[in-house]
Amino acid sequence: MSAARVLVTGATGLVGRRLVASLRGDGRAVRIVSRSPAPEGFDAGVEVVGWNGRDLPHEALAGVGALVHLAGEPVFGPLPTAAHMRRVRTSRVESTEALVRALAALPEGERPECFVCASAVGYYGSRGDTPLDETAEPGDGLLAEVCTEWERAARGAEPLGVRTVRLRIGIVLAREGGALPLIARVFRVGLGGRLGDGRQWFPWIAIDDLIAMTRAAIDDPSWSGAVNAVAPGVVTNAEFTRALGHQLGRRTWLPVPAALVRGALRGLSGELLGSRRLLPRAAQERGFRFAYAQLEPALRAVLDR
C-alpha cells in the first residue's frame, strides 16, 4: 500500500532530486524541507517547509505517511580536516536524532508509517575479500564510526512504532552528479587509472536502482532494518577502471599510488583504498529486481544519456 504524503530531507541533492521527481511523476504528494524558501528545480506541487538543517518544524510532519532522510554534509570535496569531519558527523547524526525527537513528539496515531534513513557502505570499514551482507558487524575508520552513530540514531524510531529502513548506499552512478562525472573527467583527459593495487572491492549502484529501492522501502511493509543499497555485480577498483576506460574510449595505464591517496585524503583515504565486497541480500530476499545488476550496462546507460 503506497504511503500518503512523503517528506524528504536533502531534496536538493543528487538522490533527493531524483526521488522527488520520481514520486511526483506518479502523482504522489511530496513535501520537502529546505533552508531556502524557494529552492529551484521543483514543480509547483511540491510543498516546501523551512528547516535549519537539524530541528524539524512541527508542521513539516503533519499528514506525512513516509519520512525519507537524505540530508548530510558531503564527505568528499573539502579538505578532510577535523572541522570538516565534525560537520559530516553533525549533519548526519544530530539531524537524525532531531528527526526522531520530532517523531516522538507526535501522538502515536499521527506518526508516519515509515522512516527511510540514508547510511553508507562506509559502515563496514575495510574488510578485504570477505563477502558482507547486512548481518556483518561495523568496521573501523572515520566513516564507519559516523555511520554506526547515524544508524543508532535512526533506530530510535523503531520503539515509536515507525517502520525504519537504513539504506547503506554504495557509490552512486549518475550522469548529473556524485562521483562519476568527476572520475569520468579525469579519464577523458587520459589520467584515469586504478587506485593503489586496484584489488579493493568497489560497491556501486545505478541511480535508477537506488531510487527504485528507496521507493520500495517507502511502500513495501516487508522492508525494515539495514539494506545494502548496492548492485549485485560488485567489482574491484581495477575492474571498474577498465570498464569505465572502455566505455569512454580512454586508456587506463596510469595507476594512482596509494601513498598519494593517503597524503591527499588523510583519514578518509581508506574510503577509496579500503575493500568492501558487499552483497544486496536483504533487497534480493524481498524480491527487488535490479535494472542494472552489472557494471558495464550501468555505465553505458548512464554515460550515453
Percentage of residues in the chain with pLDDT exceeding 70?
88
CATH class of 5-303: alpha beta
Spell out the domain ranges in the chain.
5-303
Is pLDDT larger for residue 264 or for residue 137? 137
Residue 38 binned pLDDT confidence (cut-offs 50, 70, 90): confident
pLDDT for 1: 43
Q: Residue 259: pLDDT above 90?
A: no
Report pLDDT digits (tens) over 68-89: 999 876 665 555 566 666 777 7
Q: Which residue has the higher pLDDT, 89 or 28?
A: 28
Tens-digit pLDDT profile for residues 262-276: 554 455 445 566 789
Rounded CA-CA distance 52/23 in Å is 24
Residues contacting 126, CB < 8 A, separation 6+: 139, 140, 141, 200, 270, 273, 274, 275, 276
What value does the mean pLDDT take over residues 116-129? 94
Single pTM value for the model: 0.92
Contact by Cβ (8 Å): 121, 276: yes
| Measured distance CA(77)–CA(242) in Å, rounded | 24
Q: What angle do CA 234, 74, 126 make, to 5 degrees?
A: 40
| Cβ 232 vs Cβ 201: under 8 Å | no
Print burial letters for 104-136: b (CB count within 10 Å at least 16), e (below 16): eebeeeebbbbbbbbbbbbbbbbbeeeebebeb
